[in-house]
Structure 1
Amino acid sequence: MARSQRGEIQPHEDYGFFGPGSVVWKVWSYPTSLTVGFQRAVVVEELDPPLVAAVHGTQGIYERPRTRYDRTLRYFAMVAFAGTREVCKAADVLVKVHSKAIGRLPYSEGTYDANDPDSQLWIQLTGWHSILYAYERYGPGRLTAAEEAEYWEACATAAELQTCSPADVPRSREGVRAYFERMRPQLSASPIARQAMEHLLRTELVLPPTPLWAKPASLAVAKAQRIATIATMPRWMRELAGIRQSRLLDALIVPVMRVSFAAVHLSPRLELLLLGRISPSTVPVVAPMKLGMTPRHEEVLTPAEARARHGYPRPAEAHLDLRARQAARVLGEGEAPSDLGLIESQESLGPLS
């Protein structure tokens, strides 16, 4: 299988923003990351009222759950592993896609905008924290102090691909905890948040159709991931969202997942095979790293160097005219936003259907 994959998978242009030997590649390449870590991130995110309003407004997770999951996971993986030109292009088109996720909050005064820096910071930190937490709980365990410091510096580097400011990214575990404590009073388990969280915990919705004989095993895997993801969520968060799971299940799932992930991690071929079941579009992003393929240029760039080389603006400064037009159309004229950017995004983020 590895030989056939090497024949089909193309090497990246460069090592991206982190590269071999980085703590990002160490943590994000472990199978906990693009499974439990990613699922935890997208579930926890829904407690932020502006973010869940944007998710609910587009209805993508309900109308096309598999492709929406696939596209989002692909972008997560691109930031860690893809070449800098690919990532810059994807980050740029994502600003266009997010420009349509704008409107009025359904349960309070005010508006939401998926490109808002505060929403983007929330996405960034819940994502990177969830990936690390899943790695620690179901993978090899805690990083060293030096590795952890490198990890949060890398998180700030990746924030340059969002509309938020890297200066707002904490550089330590304590700083991240303090951020979540500041956010806690703003979080809300509204009806649409609870609906989205429960929906996103249903791993079976993103799995491909399986023959009748394989359905029990597929459902067992989906159930195990759901239990594992819920077990990483603090009790106060579960109570807020109305998610219930016993402490016994929380404890029992740990050795099951640790052994399972460790076994899968022994074989890059198996990792890619299983990844292809939940996110086919992510396989070409991750495979060059898993298969040890050398990029066309053996270099790691900073986001600033990549933007200068490939001709992209900072995301915070990208497509300001489009974003203003979308805001005027939705908030001023009461019309539906334009879909500009969605079709274009398929080349970078994967198919819409």
Structure 2
Amino acid sequence: MKRSDVEPHEDYGFFGPGSVVWKVWSYPTSLTVGFQRAVVVEELDPPLVAAVHGTQGIYQRPRTRYDRTLRYFAMVAFAGSREVCRAADVLVKVHSKAIGHLPYGDGTYDANDPASQLWIQLTGWHSILYAYERYGPGKLTAEEEREYWEACAVAAELQTCSPDDIPRSRDGVRAYFEQMRPRLSASPIARQAMNHLLQTELVLPPTPRWAKPASFVVGRAQRIATIATMPRWMRELAGIRQSRLLDVLIVPVMKASFAFVHLSPRLELLLLRRLSPSTVPVIAPMKLGIPPRNEEVLTPAEARARHGFPKPAEAHLDLRARQAARVLGDGKAPSDRGLIESQDVLGPLA
């Protein structure tokens, strides 16, 4: 990829050069093992997996669903503030479609529910950091880790959850997961989703016959590496089996592989294009050292005021109410309005 082909961002968004977010999220562990771990672990939350199962996106269009979700993850860390605010705003519309009755037990689910959004936020940021520590350069300093969780709270302002609910330390994050543990469930749809999302080959483009063995090895290695980051209790709950020997042996393999890839930004972008084409324009300016048009870092509040977006928790309340009435009241299928509109921001659906 040539530097001249890369479009600079409008600004540095919410983090920028020198931030611990750029340090961790720019390492190749993040958008591979870290991201896969996040989407797999998320499925243990009953309301979340009900929303995933209800839309069927991961089964009907696994590659585009993975591509669009990975693009959003990367945008939060690296894109310009206007672009991120727009993505966060349209995501509320997309999530308005994911509403319904829980398939197991009483109650309803809503993908915009703050509790579900908090679960997504913390499993995502924790998984990215954990993959970096296990297969990357190692643990952050105490100061860097404090900055990391403060940054997580900043990013939470782009969700419908409250940044006040984000723990600011590793101990706080552990306490949150312990609090959530009794609420987690490996229902049949959760197990189905987790095993499906562990199949890396489903999100790769068609592979020539001569390259299929290599593609299989890469996919298998990432699956092993992702499972190795999951605690034993979680694997047992989900019925996922993997030996302790594989957990140990995969570490030097992945550390060496990621370190090699990280030597060349262009190689990183080449491999990312294969995994998630729509994410490349988001990350390329950072990888190639192309500064934004305005070299400034904003807060989400400053960005919303400048670009005219409401807080996600307060956005599109009429649409969300209509979707709830349509699905929960009338028993009809939800409108696809938000999903269709999102294509200009998050990438095509097919």
TM-score between the two structures when normalised by the length of structure 1: 0.99
Indicate the residue corresponding to 1:199 in structure 2.
Answer: 196
| 1:151 counterpart = 2:140 | no
Identity score, percent: 87
Q: How big is the shift at 1:20?
A: 0.2
| 1:107 counterpart = 2:74 | no
Indicate the residue corresponding to 2:229 in structure 1.
Answer: 232
- Please list the CA deviations of residues 122-179 of structure 1 after superposition, one character each: whole Å capped at 9, or x if unmatched: 0000000000000000000000000000000000000000000000000000000000
- Cα distance in 2 for residues equivalent to 1:16 and 1:86: 9
| 1:48 counterpart = 2:36 | no
SS in 2 for 1:30: coil
The match for 1:328 among 293, 312, 325 is 325
Q: How big is the shift at 1:343?
A: 1.5
SS in 1 for 2:310: coil
- Please list the CA deviations of residues 228-263 of structure 1 after superposition, one character each: whole Å capped at 9, or x if unmatched: 000000000000000000000000000000000000
Q: Which amino acid in structure 2 is aligned with residue 149 of structure 1?
A: R
Q: Which amino acid in structure 2 is aligned with residue 339 of structure 1?
A: D
- Cα distance in 2 for residues equivalent to 1:113 and 1:342: 15
- Cα distance in 1 for residues equivalent to 2:237 and 2:334: 32
SS in 2 for 1:19: coil
SS in 1 for 2:109: strand
Indicate the residue corresponding to 1:124 in structure 2.
Answer: 121
- Please list the CA deviations of residues 77-106 of structure 1 after superposition, one character each: whole Å capped at 9, or x if unmatched: 000000000000000000000000000000
Indicate the residue corresponding to 1:58 in structure 2.
Answer: 55
| 1:80 counterpart = 2:77 | yes
- Cα distance in 2 for residues equivalent to 1:294 and 1:343: 32
Indicate the residue corresponding to 1:69 in structure 2.
Answer: 66
Q: How big is the shift at 1:7?
A: 2.1
Indicate the residue corresponding to 1:287 in structure 2.
Answer: 284
Q: How does 1:1-353 map to 2 (within 5 A)?
A: 1=1, 4=2, 6-353=3-350
Q: Which amino acid in structure 1 is aligned with residue 107 of structure 2?
A: G
Q: How big is the shift at 1:351?
A: 0.7
- Cα distance in 2 for residues equivalent to 1:232 and 1:151: 19
Q: How big is the shift at 1:344?
A: 1.1
Farther-moved stretch of structure 1 (342-351 vs 109-118): 342-351
Aligned residues: 350
Q: Which amino acid in structure 1 is aligned with residue 192 of structure 2?
A: Q
Q: Which runs of 5+ in 2 are unaligned?
A: none
Q: How big is the shift at 1:8?
A: 1.9
The CA RMSD over aligned residues, in Å, is: 0.4
SS in 2 for 1:341: helix
- Cα distance in 1 for residues equivalent to 2:124 and 2:315: 23
TM-score between the two structures when normalised by the length of structure 2: 1.00
Q: Which amino acid in structure 2 is aligned with residue 82 of structure 1?
A: A
SS in 2 for 1:16: coil
Structure 1: 4+ residue segments shifted above 4 A: none
Q: Which amino acid in structure 2 is aligned with residue 172 of structure 1?
A: S
SS in 2 for 1:131: helix
- Cα distance in 2 for residues equivalent to 1:338 and 1:240: 34
- Cα distance in 2 for residues equivalent to 1:69 and 1:340: 20
SS in 1 for 2:149: helix
SS in 1 for 2:298: coil
- Cα distance in 1 for residues equivalent to 2:215 and 2:170: 35
